[in-house]
Amino acid sequence: MNSKNSKWIIIGVIVLFVFLSFSWFKNTYNTMVTMEEATTATWSQVENVYQRRADLIPNLVNTVKGYASHEQETLEGVIEARSKATSVTIDPTNLDANSMQQFQAAQDGLSSALSRLMVVVERYPDLKANQNFLDLQAQLEGTENRITVERRKFNETVQAYNAFIRLFPKNILANMAGFEKKAYFQAAAEAQKAPEVNF
């Protein structure tokens, strides 16, 4: 084999290596971008269902107010908790554990206020028979189920993204390009304990 042919073989191997390396980097980077955008989209859907819940609350409070106007403290607590919950927003590009905890704390406060409102409702049989209240309650229950589903989807999307950017050798490119792990939606600490029921 002459030296001219061996030079072309070496050049061909180098060009092939550069092309394959570029293709791997491009495809891996684009996949990371796509997966990061998927986490943003699923987070937006989580916020969407929480917003739906927040939108139902004024109607629910007004319906209860008509029957239980002297329960002002409870009604004001629900309105205040709704205000706090809707004021906490998260930048989807920065889904870290701290911001997720703040968001969850605000939502837990609203859930707690709604639970107190439902306890008040139990004292008013006429209200429990009101069709408008029953419709709102059914919508609220459906929204709570949607919240659970969307949080599960979000965690699945985050898990896939986090695993992808942490696998070797993709983690090297992820670090160079600034892709960071996203935080999961965690259950509240109270959810770890079984509720105490007394009869």
The whole-number average pLDDT for the span 95-108 is 85
Question: How confident is the model over 130-165, as pLDDT tens digits?
Answer: 788 888 888 888 888 999 999 999 999 999 999 999
154 within domain boundaries: yes
194 within domain boundaries: no
Within 122-167, residue ranges assigned H as helices are: 125-129, 131-166
17 within domain boundaries: no
Burial per residue of 52-90, b for 16 or more beta-carbon CB atoms within 10 angstroms, e otherwise: ebbebbeebbebbeebbeebeebbebbeebbeebbeeeb
102 within domain boundaries: yes
The mean pLDDT of the chain is 84
176 within domain boundaries: yes
Residue 86's domain spans which residues?
A: 35-186
**Could you tell me the pTM of the whole model?**
0.76
Using the predicted structure, report yes or no on whether residue 171 has a pLDDT greater than 80: yes
| Pairwise CA distance, residues 15 & 23, whole Å | 12
Using the predicted structure, report yes or no on whether residue 194 has a pLDDT greater than 70: no
Find the CATH number of the domain harbouring 132: 1.20.1440.20
27 within domain boundaries: no
Using the predicted structure, report yes or no on whether residue 104 has a pLDDT greater than 60: yes
75 within domain boundaries: yes
Task: Return the pLDDT at 1.
Answer: 56
Question: How confident is the model over 15-62, as pLDDT tens digits?
Answer: 999 999 999 999 999 999 999 999 999 999 999 999 998 888 888 888
192 within domain boundaries: no
Structural domain total, the chain: 1
The whole-number average pLDDT for the span 170-194 is 77
Q: Is 58 helix (H, G, I), strand (E, B) or coil?
A: helix
